[in-house]
Structure formats: C-alpha cells, structure tokens
Amino acid sequence: VFLGDMAVGKTSIINRCIRNAFSDLHTPTVGVGYEQMYVKVNEKTIRTEIWDTAGQEKYLSLAPMYYKNAQGAIIVFDITNYHSFTRTKQWVKQVSDENPSCKFILVGNKADIEQQREVTKQLADKLASEYNAIYAEVSAKTGEGMDNFIQNFVTRNLVDTETNKKLISFGSNGRKGCC
C-alpha cells in the first residue's frame, strides 16, 4: 500500500513503475487506486497488488482498510517539503498499530528538484533505520532511482529468500496483498 500526504507523488511513482510514464497534470486520487505489478525474484515472478491511497484529509479514514492486511507499506514524502517528511512518523505509527508485522520502505520523491531540497538523505536514512526500513530517493518525473526500489523492497521484506517462498498472503477475498 502506498501512503503519504497529499501531493507527494504517490500516484506519479506508481505510474512510473507500472507504465514508465509521467504526467504534469496533477489530479488527486479520489478514494483509492489499484494496480498490479509483477516482480521477478530469484527467477520466480511474484504478483503484487498496489493500493494507491488518497492523501487528502477527507479520505484518510479509508487508508486503514488497505494497510491492515498489507505485507508492505511504501511511505512517500516530498524531499522539498519538510512537513511531509515529519508526517512519515505518523504514517508508520498508524500502520504499525494496526498491522505490527507490516514492513516499510520510505521513499523521498522529487529528487529532480535538488535545489529545493528540505530533507537531507542522511536525515531520511536515519529515520528509515529507526524503523528497520529501506530508504529510496526517486524522481517520478525523470525516472531517477525508480529502477529497482520496489523489487528490492519485495526481495528484502516480502520473500523468504532461502526457500524462495512467497510471503504475499491471500486475504479473505482470495486475492494476494502486498504494497
């Protein structure tokens, strides 16, 4: 499940990952979006379900429905907006309270506008390590850093690499859940 404040680029990151596309048109997600992504790990293909949650306050009450059974949460913030970074702690706490076994990756978006940076890589790395999480810095606009961050996250956190066992579980609706 993708989580984060409004306008940090969650949908843009998903579009870059799935379609290798970016649009300058900024249409807020209404409710939730859904995509599937296939990730190759140790010569096996794993189908992940990606839930794109809205960051607008009026939709925040919907987010727990999507992270309560998620195997992984991708918490996105805007590196040019310090407030969006400070909110990552609240997102991690909310998910952890509801779903203690959920794994995390923190993603700093908008790396293409370095000159407007308000959050250093060191600060983001430090916060990620506090949560035993991965930190990735990306630009949905240019594609910078997009190559492998989801694959690395799935490989590190959602697959038992010794047995190559899929840890992406079936929910009550019979569908696999992931991010």
Identify the structural domains of the chain with CATH numbers, from first to last: 2-166 (3.40.50.300)
The rounded Cα 86 to chain-centroid distance in angstroms is 16
Question: pLDDT tens digits for 137-157?
Answer: 999 999 999 878 888 888 877
- Is 27 in contact with 75 (CB distance < 8 Å)? no
Structure tokens given for 140: 């949905």
Report, as ranges of residue numbers, the positions in the chain whose pLDDT lies below 50. 59, 161-177
Query: Which whole-number Å values give the CA distances from 83 to 67, 75, 119, in the listed order?
Result: 22, 14, 9
Question: pLDDT tens digits for 53-74?
Answer: 776 555 456 677 768 888 899 9
Burial of 124 (0-12, 13-18, 19+ CB in 10 A): buried
The pTM (predicted TM-score) of the whole model is: 0.82
Q: Measure the CA angle with vertex 26, ends 21 and 114; round to 5°.
A: 75
